[in-house]
Amino acid sequence: MDQMPPLLPPEHSDDALALDFVKLAANFRWSHGMGWMVDDGVTWDRDNDLRRYDVSRRVCRIAAAEAAMKNDAVARALTSARTVNAVLILAQSDAHMVVPPGVWDSDRLALNTPTGMVDLRTGLQRSRGIEYVTQATRVAPDGAEACPTWHRFMAQVFCGDTALVEFMQRSIGYWLTGDRREQVVHFLYGLGGNGKSVFIDFVQWLAGTYAIKLPASALMQSKGERHPTELAQLRGKRLAVSSELDENSFFNESLIKELTGDATLTARFMRGDFFEFDMTQKHVIVGNFRPRLRGGDPAIARRMLLVPFNASFRGANRDPHILEKLKAEAPAILAWAVEGAKKWHASGLAVPQVVSDASQDYMRDHDDLGQWAAECCDMSGEAKASHLYASFTAWKKARGEHPSSQTAWGGRVTTLRGVTKRMSNGVRYSGIQLKDEVFKRIVWDTR
């Protein structure tokens, strides 16, 4: 049976013009939720400059010039705003134009640079080809160059701790990937003048559009809901840096768990449709002090990696031009970071003892349940849930803190060593009881 010839739309119809647009607009694509995207030779970016309209108008002008020889009225209609917009509406459904949202930046272990792609597992480089990538580093890596200023800076910032420098090399390499398997937040802390701002400012600059500054308020507890466009800006990013923390603020612990977990996010760009995307960003928080946690949630505890910055760069030790010097070594430093990614992929972050100790100290300081149990309870016998929770509530209020609900508290109390829940004339807990003086005060208050 003979194959039927393809059906062609009528000449100069909107559909015919849309097909002409597709032929001319090879560097354009359309994606649900992201809208029109345009290739600039290094990355695909949202067509915020409306360059697609220039192509559509050109198509319409060509058609109008042809039609003018037959019918001026048709020619005028072909250059109308209605026709220009109709061409774009039809073109965004063309199979050659449509790219599903999940296709963008889909290779999480590939890094886009101005000269091509880098495989972060091997360090090998390749041409970008037709890969749909929306981000790029500031420079391309060059392992043939040296970076003595960077090595000296890292040794000074981390006080000669080679294990900590090795950890940070792996961490930077991990940040450059789109992989989130570690499910951690790096918390860089220490008093001012210790090099942490220069360090993170340079890493952000080096990462180019893969990095984003995320307001610290986005990670803190808030009375209102987050605007969906605030989350949309995370799509495709690999490093999200938050700084300028409020000393009296509390982390939004549920959001921290969500942003470091496996969940997809639903968001939208301004005036755009909602879309889902898999997160690729790793969060780094920078501060002179540590924001507070509401409690010692084990899920939060394992997500926090505290990196101490204990050096001091003041007076003659301070180099006001250090950032410019580091930028001059950027290609070699990026090659060093790629080596860190290879090491991380082969054997993880290799968290040093100083980071483990600092992280555990932080969680102990914020383990309200453990502190309450140590101050108010004996870890033996048994007690009514109502008495224990009344004690916990009074203890929290005495500290000027808002207690969690009894349901949330009940879900945590069995995480204490040796404590079990049982039903006997109401809810009771074995392996814990109030100290005598606390029990007398609580029973008196609840009568």
Which DSSP string corresponds to 247-260?
A: TT-BB-HHHHHHHT
- Domain assignments of the chain as residue spans, ordered by start: 14-99, 125-364, 368-446
Task: Assess if CATH 2.60.40.1080 describes domain 368-446.
Answer: no
- The three-class DSSP label of residue 337 is helix
Nearest to 333 by CA among 168, 116, 163: 168
- Residues facing residue 264 across a β-bridge: 278
The rounded distance, in Å, linking the Cα atoms of 447 and 445 is 6
The rounded distance, in Å, linking the Cα atoms of 154 and 203 is 12
Q: Which residues of 177-197 are buried (b: 16+ CB within 10 A; e: fewer)?
A: bbbbebebbbbbbbeebbbbb
φ, ψ at 250 (rounded to 5°): -115, 140
Q: Which residues of 6-28 are buried (b: 16+ CB within 10 A; e: fewer)?
A: eeeeeebebebbbbbbbeebeeb
pLDDT one digit per residue (tens) for the chain, 447 residues? 455 555 556 788 999 999 999 999 999 999 998 899 999 999 999 999 999 999 999 999 999 998 887 777 888 899 999 999 999 999 999 999 999 989 999 999 999 999 999 999 999 999 988 899 999 999 999 988 899 999 999 999 999 999 999 999 999 999 999 999 999 999 999 888 899 999 999 999 999 999 999 988 777 766 556 566 777 888 899 999 998 777 667 777 778 888 888 778 777 777 777 778 889 999 999 988 776 776 656 677 778 899 999 998 887 778 999 999 999 999 999 999 999 999 999 999 999 999 999 988 888 877 888 889 999 999 999 999 999 999 999 999 998 888 888 998 998 899 899 999 999 888 999 999 999 999 988 876 655
CB atoms within 10 A of CB 133: 20
Are 276 and 263 contacting, i.e. CB atoms less than 8 angstroms apart?
no
Quote the tokens at residue 78. 């072909």
Nearest to 253 by CA among 293, 283, 224, 213: 293
The rounded distance, in Å, linking the Cα atoms of 106 and 117 is 13
Please state, in angstroms and as integers, the Cα–Cα distance from residue 201 to each residue in 21, 28, 180, 427, following that order. 42, 33, 22, 53
Does the pTM of the predicted model rise above 0.75? Answer: yes
CB atoms within 10 A of CB 60: 25
Are 74 and 63 contacting, i.e. CB atoms less than 8 angstroms apart?
no
Are 390 and 445 contacting, i.e. CB atoms less than 8 angstroms apart?
yes
Q: Quick one: 248 exposed, middle or buried, by C-beta within 10 A (0-12, 13-18, 19+)? A: exposed
Q: Give the amino acid at 198.
A: V
Quote the tokens at residue 280. 């690729």
Q: Give the amino acid at 426.
A: G
Q: Give the amino acid at 362.
A: Y
- What homologous superfamily does CATH list for 125-364? P-loop containing nucleotide triphosphate hydrolases (3.40.50.300)
Q: Give the amino acid at 199.
A: F
